[in-house]
Structure 1
Amino acid sequence: MEWITILLSVLALGFMFWFFSTNKTLQLGQSAPDFRLPDHHGKVHTLSDFHGKWLALYFYPKDDTPGCTKQACSFRDGLQELAHLGAAVVGVSVDDTDSHAEFAQKYQLQFPLLADTAAQTAADYHSLVNLGFIKFAKRNTFLIDPEGRIARMYLSASASRNSTEIIADLKGFQAKESNKNPSGSRLPD
């Protein structure tokens, strides 16, 4: 009986090693995968809706859990500065629109929360944990440039620092753009 326990433990460890070692990701500069998902108001959003703006597309595991709430509230609190920098924020999880609506209302979230109930968008962004009967999004964030390309990836993003990291990176991108464009005009809104 003891050898069965050892065998099962070895198989479980082997599976975990395989799962995490084969975890692929997207590449900086490549076109971001498109999506078509409803938000908590029922409005459908696509990547092209954000063309000409920066987009902080963040994936999170579950509505109204401690880390996810901290991350969402951090984006909420930084939303004005992000908008000033020409960026929109969109959250994505595999929760449904009703769950998103309750979460958004409870914490006064003023940005779209997209319901990826089929888990396809999370999979396209290599941000899905699929245990067969349980699926949830990894806490990954993608900063997408106004042309729809991936400018930055925050894999295993910090729930408390994610929005401030994005703000700092956007300021860095603006400074680089300013140096390229001596007229001093802003990045596209």
Structure 2
Amino acid sequence: MRRFLSLVALCLVTATAWAAAPVEGDKAPDFNLQDQNGKWHTLDTEKGQWLVLYFYPKDFTAGCTTEVCTYRDDTAKLHKAGAQVLGVSLDDVKSHAEFAEKYHVPFPLLSDADSAVAAKYGVLTEKMGMKYARRETFLIDPSGKIVKVYKDVDPEKNSGQVLADIAALKAKGA
């Protein structure tokens, strides 16, 4: 009986965590995070343009390096499409500064060291006692509404998916 109750409690906690994650059509949760250069960013400072808010697990890891470099290489195309890119992980500002310098990252990498924003976006997870943000991307329209959520992101393809989706949404008049 005790195992059954533990399993039910686990299911309820998991369901609550998933229910808290924003979905397409929701207003994007606000944030106030510092980037690798010490500048603060909020959702309001990014309004009026498309916003690509991508969460990633850890600076200097293989998949995260691939993802940041792919976004880096597509930055000009994304800006031409009217989009700003913000990468977010639980790493501190110093780690982001080193990561951005090593890979010549031209966009802000935001430090969510207390994991509050990752929790608001439903991407906070833990494995073997280590907390990190799951690799997920949120495409936010110029009014601040989430128009696309990318789960199980492929680090090499996500930037291209986002570009295609912005073009499609603009064509629909979104």
Does TM, scored on the shorter chain, surpass 0.5? yes
Q: How far 1:138 moved relative to its partner?
A: 0.3
Q: Deviations over 1:19-63 (max 9, x none)?
A: 995341312111000000000011110001111000000000000
Partner of 1:85: 81
Moved more, 64-73 or 123-132: 123-132
Moved more, 21-30 or 78-87: 21-30
How is 1:111-126 mapped onto 2 (pairs within 5 angstroms)?
111-126=107-122
How is 1:98-117 mapped onto 2 (pairs within 5 angstroms)?
98-117=94-113
Pick the structure with greater CA Rg: 1
Q: How far 1:130 moved relative to its partner?
A: 3.4
Quote the Cα distance in structure 2 between the aligned partners of 1:101 and 1:32: 26
Calculate the aligned-residue CA RMSD, in Å. 2.2
Partner of 1:32: 28
User: Percent of aligned positions with the same letter in both sequences?
Assistant: 44
How many residues are paired up?
166
In structure 2, the gaps of 5 or more residues are: none
147, 153, 165: which one pairs with 1:157? 153
Q: What secondary structure sits across from 1:28 in the alignment?
A: coil
Give the alignment's TM-score, normalised by structure 1: 0.82
Give the alignment's TM-score, normalised by structure 2: 0.89
Deviating above 6 A after TM superposition, structure 1's stretches of 4 or more consecutive aligned residues are none
Is residue 139 from structure 1 mapped to residue 123 from structure 2 by the alignment? no
Quote the Cα distance in structure 1 between the aligned partners of 2:67 and 2:96: 14
